[in-house]
Amino acid sequence: MTELCALAPGKLNLCLFLGAGRPDGRHELVSVVESVSLADSVELDPAPPGAVDDEVVCPGVEGPNLAAEALRGFRRATGWDGAPVRVRIDKRVPVAAGMGGGSGDAAAVLRLLARVAGRRLDEPAVIELARALGADVPAQVQPGLLLAEGAGERVTPLEPLEEHGVLVLALEHRLATASVFAEADRLGLPRAAEDLEARGAEVRTAFIPGGPLPLALLRNDLEPAARSLCPAVEPALADARAAGAAHAMVSGSGPTVVGLFPGPGGADAAHAAAEQLAGREPRACAARPVQAAFAAPAVREPAR
């Protein structure tokens, strides 16, 4: 088997409007998800000689790994019976931080396995597997700008917006997604169905191909819950604004804070902001929006 690699971009939610809980334990939502250049690296190799099972190696991350579930699920859903493989993940995206790092890794595994097995990512079996793995996975199988609805399992690709830069401020604190949604329920944050539908209509009108960031719609309904559980979010938001961000917000379920820098000079401005905050821990970094080609599987060059 050819040794392959793929990048697994992190994501941010340019907007996240929260609806009511569902019988399956998830929540209805309307969100615009954007893949960014801050990315993990995922490698797919033949398993070591004598191995009888697949293996996932992810240094620094303890406990169950969604990438391993993706690997098992792919074999089960597609019937692929290739020889055992080893997946190695080099983490760059903050863990348990609202940037979909684990979901992005699982999505990258699906891209790599589809390449090896000669399957299509838009096959029903692969689509259903992505939905079963978690709400963030479908939006990251083919990275880019997407509208996510339902509980995140219904995704519609959108054309890229005007160029802009992203400042990423990770925090040392980690937040479990389920805990943030539970806190949102406790705080009474979910919107009525009619309100959620209206926000969806606004999003479809405002996010136009090549258009500017619609600053008035950049809102994350989970942000108050993340602030409640992690008070360090508030000073991070202040840091992003002080560094020049036109808009600062929590990404997804948090606690990562992102600052947005609109326009053609936005990428340079985000880099300058990251340098301005160089003494911060965890270290500030800058990112840019990316599309599917950024994360396409490629043959891994042998180490020299």
Model confidence over 33-76: pLDDT tens digits?
999 999 999 999 999 988 889 999 998 777 778 999 999 999 99
User: Mean of the per-residue pLDDT values for the chain?
Assistant: 93
In this structure, the answer to whether residues 28 and 153 fall within a common structural domain is yes
In this structure, the answer to whether residues 277 and 170 fall within a common structural domain is yes
Contact 6, 296 (CB under 8 A): yes
In this structure, the answer to whether residues 199 and 224 fall within a common structural domain is yes
Contact 276, 257 (CB under 8 A): no
In this structure, the answer to whether residues 8 and 155 fall within a common structural domain is yes
* Mean local confidence (pLDDT), 114-122: 94
In a domain, 48, yes or no: yes
- E strands, the chain, where? 4-21, 27-46, 55-57, 85-90, 145-149, 154-158, 164-169, 247-250, 257-262, 285-287, 298-299
Task: Please say if the pLDDT value at position 286 is more than 90.
Answer: yes
Tell me whether residue 179 is exposed, middle or buried, using C-beta atoms within 10 angstroms of its C-beta: 0 to 12, 13 to 18, 19 or more.
middle
What was the pLDDT predicted at 62?
A: 75
Distance of alpha carbon 7 from alpha carbon 295, whole angstroms = 5
CATH of the domain at 201: 3.30.70.890
In this structure, the answer to whether residues 195 and 244 fall within a common structural domain is yes
Contact 164, 39 (CB under 8 A): no
Distance of alpha carbon 230 from alpha carbon 240, whole angstroms = 17
In this structure, the answer to whether residues 237 and 254 fall within a common structural domain is yes
pLDDT band at 278; cut points 50, 70, 90: confident
Contact 169, 287 (CB under 8 A): no
What was the pLDDT predicted at 134?
A: 86
In a domain, 241, yes or no: yes
In this structure, the answer to whether residues 151 and 170 fall within a common structural domain is no
Question: How far, rounded to the nearest angstrom, does the alpha carbon of residue 284 sit from its chain's CA centroid?
Answer: 18
Query: How many other β-carbons are positioned within 10 Å of the β-carbon of residue 25?
Result: 9
Distance of alpha carbon 240 from alpha carbon 228, whole angstroms = 19
In this structure, the answer to whether residues 197 and 180 fall within a common structural domain is yes
- pTM listed for this prediction: 0.92
In a domain, 304, yes or no: no
In this structure, the answer to whether residues 146 and 242 fall within a common structural domain is no
Tokens, residue 266: 């936005």
In a domain, 86, yes or no: yes
User: In this structure, which amino acid lies at residue 280?
Assistant: R
What's the domain range around 40? Answer: 4-159+292-299
Element (H, E) at 130: helix 124-133
Is 136 marked active-site?
A: yes
Contact 194, 133 (CB under 8 A): no
Tokens, residue 284: 């500030």
Residue of 11, 105, 221, 239 marked active site: 11
In this structure, the answer to whether residues 14 and 121 fall within a common structural domain is yes
Is 11 marked active-site?
A: yes
In this structure, the answer to whether residues 128 and 37 fall within a common structural domain is yes
* Structural domain count, the chain: 2
In this structure, the answer to whether residues 75 and 213 fall within a common structural domain is no
Residue of 24, 91, 122, 136 marked active site: 136
Beta bridge partners of 86: 45, 55
Question: How far, rounded to the nearest angstrom, does the alpha carbon of residue 78 sit from its chain's CA centroid?
Answer: 25
CATH of the domain at 101: 3.30.230.10
